[in-house]
Every structure is written in C-alpha cells, then in structure tokens.
Amino acid sequence: MERKNPPNPRRFSFESLFAAFLAFVVASAFAWAAVWLVGAQRPVEAAAQASGQQTSGQQQQDQTAPDAGGPNGDNGSIALPKKPENPDDNPPPAPAEPKIKTPENLGNISMRVEVPEVTLDVGVLLEKTHQFVPGLKPQNFRVFEDGVPQKIEGFKRAEAPITALLLVEYAASGYAFRVDALNSSWAFAQQLRPQDYVAMMTFDLNTHIVSDFTQDKRQILQGINMLANEVWMPAAFQETDVFDALAESLDRLSRIEGQKYIILIASGVDSMSKLTLDKILARVKASRDITIFTISTGGLLLAMTEGRGGMMGGMRDMTYLQADNQMQTFSNLTGGMHFAPRFVGELPDDIRAINENIRAKYELVYHPTNSKQDGTWRKIRVELVDDEGQPLRMQDEKHKPLKYDIIARDGYRAKQEVD
C-alpha cells in the first residue's frame, strides 16, 4: 500500500499570499485609473467656465423657461408674461359674427335702389318790370308733376356765374335782321360778369364758331365787332337752318356739367334743316340742365310791312308768326323767356330780365312720386300760394295788384332704365 504525503503548510501560505497581492495590484490599478479620469475632467470644466461656456448640466438648467419679467441671461430665451392666477379676470371672448344665410333654392341675390331726384329752377318775375321777386319761402311753392302734388325737400335761392352759348343767326336774309342780331348780342355781352363762361356761334346754312368758351368778355365783343365790320357785305348763304344749329348747340353743351344756357338770337325761320320741327322739339324736351332764352329779330321791319296784302304778303306774315311761335316754344319747354323787341331801346331791359332770371332764382328739389324710369315725358306745373294755401297775390306800395310770371320748365323726360 502506497503512503501519501501530507500537504505542506508553507506552500499553501505562499500561494494564498501571492493571490491576495495580485488582487490588490489589480484593484489599485483600477482605483488609480478612476482617479486619473476624474482629474482629467476637472481642467475641462474649469476651462469651460473660464471661457463663458456652459456645461451640459447648466444648459439643461437654463433651458427651462424663466419667470415673467424678461430673459434669465444675455443669451437666454424670452419669457412670456404669466397668466393671471384668477381666470375670472380674463376678458370675455369677442362675440361671433352673425351669419346671414340665403334661403334655400333662392341663389345669390342683390338689390339696388335708385331714387330719382328732380332739381327745378324757378324764377318769379314781375310782369311789367321783369324784376325778380325775393323773399319767397318753401311753403309758397307748390309743384305738380302730371297733376300729382310733390313734396319739396330742398329749397334755396341761388345766384351764381353762368355758362352760356350765344347762338346768333347771321345770314344774307336781310340787313335789318343782321343789325338786330348784332345789337342784341352786344347788349347781352355788355352785362357779362368776370366769372361767366360764354361762347359765341353764328349760323346760316352752316354753323361758325366765333369764340370758344371764355371768361374774357372782350373776346365776345371783338367777335361782334368783326361781324359788324362785314354787315354791309353780303353774307355767304341766305338759308337759316335754325333747327340744325340748335341741335348742334345742345350736343355741345351736353358735354358740360352743371346748368347751361342758350341765348338764341334769330328770326326763327328755318329754311332747309335736316331735322324737322317735331324732331328738334323732341331734342329740346330731352335736354337736361339747359335753358333756352330766345330773342326774335326783325320786329320793326315786320311791323312796318305787316298786312301788305296779296298772297305773297300773307304767306310771309304767316311764316314769321310761325317762326315767333317756334322761338317761344323753345323757351317755354326749358323754362326760359322769349322776347320780340321792335326798338333798340327795349334791348337793355330785355337782357336785364334774362340776367335776373338766370342769376337769381329759386332752386327746388323733390323726389317724384312716380319713380319709374321709363323714359316718359313728365309735365310740371308750379304755383305760388300764401300761408293759407290760396293763390299768392302781390301788390305795390300803393296797394295796387301786381302781376307776376313764374318761369320754370314745362316738364322733363325721365331716364330710361337700362336692362
């Protein structure tokens, strides 16, 4: 039987010590490595703080929103005001806008309402002296349209500069007619004021512009003088196409805004116009903001030669009576006045009456009860009444009755509605 030796106590002790020593060395190595890593990080943090940079921990802390009152640092985020702790102090929200809903199956619709307005210039002149009657009030006027009373909504007395066209017949129809035309034109030009705009045009077979619109009345007087220098010479044409000349004048003035006037000085006889009497009357009725004043020429000559007898004499008298009636109709349709002077001495008073009528007037405004825009002719009548609604009566200082004339348009043509 083999004998086994017992373990050596010294050998066991040496191996244990060597294992313990090796474990100590390894642990010490790890400890020194950890210490070295920690030491290496401290200079990095120190350098970062010295250069103004932030570490990751500081950046995480600064990213939190600061309180109200501004940023936490120079480069920090902007703070928003804090909401009040009490929500009851907040203003109520704005009300929602109302929504208008179109009824079903109706589609989109639109509505436009145009209320027609009529401005009526009314002159009240004494019949004998042609003086303007001042001091009238709105309740003194009654306006009827097609027989229906209208409510006056605007009233004032107006006196303003005028815009007028002096339309003069100047043809080879006779020396007396040309002289009367020049005298009437001269009398009208003498009463012009510095702010008036006036033009002058003559006509025979054709129209001729003597002066365009100007505020210098010397140009008008110069044009009259030029015609006067030729009064002894025969004119180019004997024809007097007053209808065509008047239609051309209406066309020219229609391009000018505001109230305009035509001073028509002529015999009224139309020779061979392209337009007929009915057509020119329709044009006159359709005119807007244009008033025509007419002065017939040749009154003295016609009075001296009236009733000569014979067929030719009777036809001539009828021709000039008809011409006078046409001239008066042009004036009545537009609210103007007609004069047929026989003597030069009558002209200053006649022209003064025209000036008083076109400068001093009453302006009435109303909305017609018939608001249809059908292009029909509406008849206008103006009456004067007293405070009790009775016809107004005037008297002079000696309590003698005074007759007066009401100068206003006979009517107007309503606008034609365009579909």
pLDDT digits (tens, 9 = 90+) for 231-264: 777 666 888 999 999 999 999 999 998 889 999 9
Q: Are residues 331 and 370 in the same domain?
A: no
Q: Are residues 171 and 305 in the same domain?
A: yes
Q: Are residues 136 and 279 in the same domain?
A: no
Indicate the burial class of 354 (C-beta count within 10 angstroms; 0-12, 13-18, 19 or more): buried
Which contacts (CB < 8 Å, 24+ apart) does range 275-279 have?
275/243, 275/244, 275/247, 276/243, 277/243, 277/326, 279/243
Tell me if 225 is assigned to some domain: yes
Tell me if 65 is assigned to some domain: no
CATH number of the domain within which 272 lies: 3.40.50.410
More confident residue, 96 or 225: 225
Task: Report whether 124 contacts 404 (CB < 8 A).
Answer: yes
Q: Are residues 217 and 317 in the same domain?
A: yes
Q: Are residues 198 and 271 in the same domain?
A: yes
Task: Report whether 300 contacts 267 (CB < 8 A).
Answer: no
What is the pLDDT, as a whole number, of residue 213?
95
Q: Are residues 352 and 408 in the same domain?
A: no
The domain tally of the chain equals: 2
**What whole-number distance in Å separates Cα of residue 354 and Cα of residue 190?**
13
Taken in order 306, 308, 310, 312, the sign of the CA dihedral is: negative
What is the pLDDT, as a whole number, of residue 361?
86
End-to-end Cα spacing for the chain: 144
Q: Are residues 192 and 262 in the same domain?
A: yes
Residue 12 scores a pLDDT above 70: no
Tell me if 20 is assigned to some domain: no
Q: Are residues 133 and 215 in the same domain?
A: no
Single out the residue in 317, 335, 358 at which a domain terminates: 358
Tell me if 171 is assigned to some domain: yes
Tell me if 15 is assigned to some domain: no
Residue 77 scores a pLDDT above 60: no
Range of the domain at 399: 118-158+363-413
Q: Are residues 200 and 253 in the same domain?
A: yes
SS3 label, residue 102: coil
Q: What is the pLDDT of residues 41-75, one digit of tens each?
A: 444 444 444 444 444 444 444 444 444 444 444 44
Residue 291 scores a pLDDT above 50: yes
Single out the residue in 358, 381, 404 at which a domain terminates: 358
Q: What is the pLDDT of residues 326-347, one digit of tens each?
A: 999 999 998 889 999 999 999 9
Distances (CA, A) of 366 to 148, 403, 410: 13, 27, 16
Task: Report whether 151 contacts 120 (CB < 8 A).
Answer: no
What is the pLDDT, as a whole number, of residue 107?
59
Task: Report whether 406 contacts 122 (CB < 8 A).
Answer: yes
- For residue 380 the two structure tokens come to 């206008």
pTM above 0.75, yes or no: no
Q: What is the DSSP string of 192-259?
A: --TT-EEEEEEESSSEEEEEEEES-HHHHHHHHHHHHHTTTSPPS-----HHHHHHHHHHHHHTS-S-
Q: What is the pLDDT of residues 104-127, one digit of tens each?
A: 665 565 555 566 899 998 988 888
What is the pLDDT, as a whole number, of residue 68?
46
Tell me if 219 is assigned to some domain: yes
How far from chain centre, in Å, is Cα 177? 43
Strand order across the 411-413 sheet: 148-150, 141-145, 377-384, 411-413
More confident residue, 318 or 32: 318
Tell me if 72 is assigned to some domain: no
Q: Among candidates 329, 332, 412, 334, which has minimal Cα distance to 375?
A: 412
What is the pLDDT, as a whole number, of residue 25?
56
Single out the residue in 358, 379, 405 at which a domain terminates: 358
Angle, CA 340 vertex, CA 334 and CA 341 arms, to 5°: 135
Residue 147 scores a pLDDT above 50: yes
What is the pLDDT, as a whole number, of residue 35?
47
Q: Are residues 189 and 293 in the same domain?
A: yes
Distances (CA, A) of 341 to 37, 317, 415: 131, 17, 37
- The residue-averaged pLDDT of 212-234 equals 89
Kindly give, in sequence order, each residue whose CB lies less than 8 Å from that of residue 274, ignoring residues fewer than 6 positions away: 241, 243, 244
Q: How many CB atoms are located within 10 Å of the residue 308 CB?
A: 11
More confident residue, 214 or 108: 214
Residue 370 scores a pLDDT above 70: yes
Taken in order 355, 356, 357, 363, the sign of the CA dihedral is: positive
* pLDDT tier for residue 179 given thresholds of 50, 70 and 90: very high
More confident residue, 7 or 325: 325
Q: Are residues 151 and 173 in the same domain?
A: no
Beta-sheet pairing, 152-158 with 361-366: antiparallel
**CA dihedral angle for residue 323, residue 325, residue 331, residue 335, rounded to 10 degrees:** -170
SS3 label, residue 384: strand
Residue 76 scores a pLDDT above 70: no
Q: Are residues 324 and 176 in the same domain?
A: yes
Tell me if 62 is assigned to some domain: no
What is the pLDDT, as a whole number, of residue 364?
94
